[in-house]
Amino acid sequence: MRRSNTGSLLLDSHPQLLAAVPDCGSAVVGEVVEEIPGLIRLHKNGRVERLPAMPEVPSSYSVDPTVTAVDVTVDHSAGLWARIHVPELQAELPVVLYFHGGGFCVGSPAWRCYHSFLAHLAASAGCVVVSPNYRLAPEHRLPAAYEDGAASLAWLLNQAGRVGPDEGGLSWRARCDFARIFVAGDSAGAAIAYSAAALQKNPPASMRGVILVQPFFGGEARTASERSLRESAAKSALSLSAAECYWRLALPAGCDRDSVWCNPVGEEGLKKMERSASMPGVLVCVAEMDILRDRNLEFCGALKGAGKKVELEMYEGVGHAFHVLQSYYDLSQNRTNDLISDVTKFITNI
């Protein structure tokens, strides 16, 4: 399975690199026009560098002896693939389609932090986890990632009727209850999950719920948490300046942060939300010290106002991406256990 080299927003093996996230302004420094140090650089000539801040691991990398992983092709022509985590349980299991984070600009299902977290999720929640990649900005600006998210969901829905052996020899499809599909993700991956699943006009009955972990949304107006936590890397791994840099790299030319690709509670976003009459239940997981906290809470309020079923869970004392930053936050492990427990309850009770 061929993969591009990527850097990472989530530096669990290098927490010292998170001590400060410098301003990501557009001033030219040499030939670099946009940069988040240690993660990504955009050069004036259009060249993009993604730095190896997070190691990638093969599907055979062992995290939990009760979980086996395999990489499969989703769309060869588009370069889409997925890593599938299958626990050693004998029943047909619910399926979680999980999109990774990374500001739409960096990331991979093969990042060690995601490989480890999703293996633990599969074992603890008793589910098959399918984690697709998607095209990254700025080479592929939005809505490319949203299109790839929809394509991955369509591919997964089609697996129920396929015959023949599974790629990689794991026989993962036989372990899946394709009548119980949950679409999930964190950060930018949560925004992709919301776009792919919750905004469908006629979602399939097999799509039972949507799980959004600290969704990476934005807007032109500043929220209280964005103002108060804007540069506090001691409290959260995502600063306001880094978030703005990601949006500049990811949004289509001519779009501001109130675009539907960024702001789900802007005028166009609310119209889409209201038109999604059959939206499945949504679980939103929010971190107290995340700059996105108040934006996530506003999003939950908009969902409720549109008559949607939404559950909210708040995790105290931790910031953005705490569930994959095991060595960064003091409370990370405990809060991650809480998160997995909440996701398990959500899956079990629907």
SS (H, E, C) the chain: CCCCCCCCCCCCCCHHHHCCCCCCCCCCECCEEEEECCCEEEECCCCEEECCCCCECCCCCCCCCCEEEEEEEEECCCCEEEEEEEECCCCCEEEEEEECCCCCCCCCCCEHHHHHHHHHHHHHHCCEEEEECCCCCCCCCCCHHHHHHHHHHHHHHHHHHCCCCCHHHCCCHHHEEEEEEEEEEECHHHHHHHHHHHCCCCCCCCEEEEEEECCCCCCCCCCHHHHHCCCCCCCCCCCHHHHHHHHHHHCCCCCCCCCCCCCCCCHHHHHHHHHCCCCCEEEEEEECCCCCHHHHHHHHHHHHHCCCCEEEEEECCCCCCHHHCCCCCCCHHHHHHHHHHHHHHHHHHC
* Active-site entry in 187, 236, 239, 276: 187
Catalytic, 60? Answer: no
Active site residues: 187
